[in-house]
């Protein structure tokens, strides 16, 4: 589970370059060995959620490395119960 939070002053919604980098997460996922099962956003709270799957943390790190400066990222391994 990946959660990205940021505040109004750092929101990427009004910055085309930052939005492209964020959009590239979806485009680059398969080449990094990551499957994105779902994406959710709460615009009012400036929070984005990604449900992803990968065989290793290195693949996840590779995928999210370009966006780590765009807010705070919590990347938490979870298992389906």
- Answer yes or no: is 10 within a domain: yes
| Predicted confidence (pLDDT) per residue in 59-74, tens digit | 999 999 999 999 999 9
- Answer yes or no: is 80 within a domain: no
Higher-scoring residue by pLDDT: 50, 10: 50
Range of the domain at 40: 2-75
Per-residue confidence (pLDDT) for residue 80, from 0 to 100:
86
Distance CA 46, CA 42 (A): 6
- Answer yes or no: is 21 within a domain: yes
- Answer yes or no: is 61 within a domain: yes
Radius of gyration of the chain (CA): 12
Phi then psi for residue 80, to 5 deg, are: -80, 130
Q: Which residues are 48's β-sheet partners?
A: 4, 41
| Predicted confidence (pLDDT) per residue in 23-61, tens digit | 999 999 999 999 999 999 999 999 999 999 999 999 999
Asked if the model's pLDDT at residue 14 lies above 90, the reply is no
Domain holding 53: CATH number?
3.30.70
- Answer yes or no: is 29 within a domain: yes
- Answer yes or no: is 68 within a domain: yes
How many domains is the chain partitioned into structurally?
Answer: 1
Per-residue confidence (pLDDT) for residue 65, from 0 to 100:
96
Average pLDDT, whole number, for the chain? 94
- Answer yes or no: is 35 within a domain: yes
pTM above 0.75, yes or no: yes
């Amino acid at each position: 589970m990946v959660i990205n939070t940021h505040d109004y002053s750092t929101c990427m919604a009004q910055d085309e370059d930052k939005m492209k980098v964020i959009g590239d997460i979806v485009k680059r996922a398969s080449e990094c060995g990551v499957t994105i099962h779902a994406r959710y956003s709460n615009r009012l709270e400036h929070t984005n959620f990604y449900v992803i799957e990968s065989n290793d943390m290195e693949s996840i790190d590779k995928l999210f490395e370009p966006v780590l400066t765009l807010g705070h990222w919590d990347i938490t391994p979870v298992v389906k119960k």
